[in-house]
Amino acid sequence: MKPKRALAAAAAAAAALLPASAGAATTQGKPRLIRLSDERTETVYAYVRRPVWVRRRPSYRSRQLSRLTRHTFYGSAESVVVVWRTEDARGRTWYRVRYPGLGRRVGWVPGRALADFEETDTLLVINRRRLRLRLYRRGRTVLRAAVGVGARRSPTPKGRYYIRERLVPRNRRGIYGILAFGTSAFSRYRTDWPGGGQVGVHGTNQPDLIPGRISNGCVRLRNRDVRRLDRSISIGTPVVIK
């Protein structure tokens, strides 16, 4: 996939803001931040090129938050959403990324750890109270659907995440339906699941239960709706669960 207009614009903006000396992007000794994603209409994402520590600050001396590898538990290429860019005192590029795991996962990785950037213009919003899903493209609604969400004892986690991988179940008549999308969200109530409790958006073999609070934390759609969703989203699509 080719890098798209927002990525090119962000790169141009970053270049324009850098000092003429081509040194580190700083303002009075502080790193200058360049925003690459608004996570609504223009979102930049990238696959992980090599294993890397996510750090609290853009420095190799900063505290390690989590380890990223090249592949997910299910063997897909690992991805992150790229939100900010900066340079350290030695002119090395760092990116603030959203990454998978429990809770709010954001931190810094060195630029060399990421593959070429790609872009999406979609946003997926899941409303747990109304039991509805809505997909936006460039701010306009393109899909609405009823959903099933986590039951009271295992609620779907609220927060800001993204689509991490696309999975086709071996049994397309099973509980995951014809298709599943793994998100970057994880459930603290299901850490014993394979892979640690990843929350999915997937089809179902029990469409009559939708809408409802029926799952262990995942978001269920009727198969026809997950098929429609598949035609419209990509890896890196931001997901807001509210």
Q: What is the pLDDT of residue 29?
A: 59
Residue 207 Cα distances to 17, 203, 227, angstroms:
52, 8, 14
- pLDDT tens digit sequence for 229-241: 999 999 999 999 9
In this structure, whether the domain defined by 122-241 belongs to CATH 2.60.120.260 is answered with no
Rounded Cα–Cα distance for residues 45 and 47 (Å): 7
Average pLDDT, the chain: 90
Residue 67 Cα distances to 50, 51, 55, 101, 108, angstroms:
11, 7, 9, 11, 11
Judged on CB neighbours under 10 Å (0-12, 13-18, 19+), 5 is exposed
- pLDDT tens digit sequence for 153-171: 999 999 999 999 999 999 9
Least confident of 12-21, 67-76, 85-94: 12-21
Q: What is the pLDDT of residue 19?
A: 35
- pLDDT tens digit sequence for 21-78: 333 455 555 679 999 999 999 999 999 999 999 999 999 999 999 999 999 999 999 9
The ranges assigned to domains in the chain are 5-120, 122-241
12 pLDDT more than 50: no
Q: Select 5-120's CATH number: 2.30.30.40, 2.60.40.1190, 3.40.50.2000, 2.60.40.350.
A: 2.30.30.40
Amino acid at 142: V
Q: What is the pLDDT of residue 24?
A: 44
Q: What is the pLDDT of residue 17?
A: 34
- Specify the residue for token string 């599943």: 180
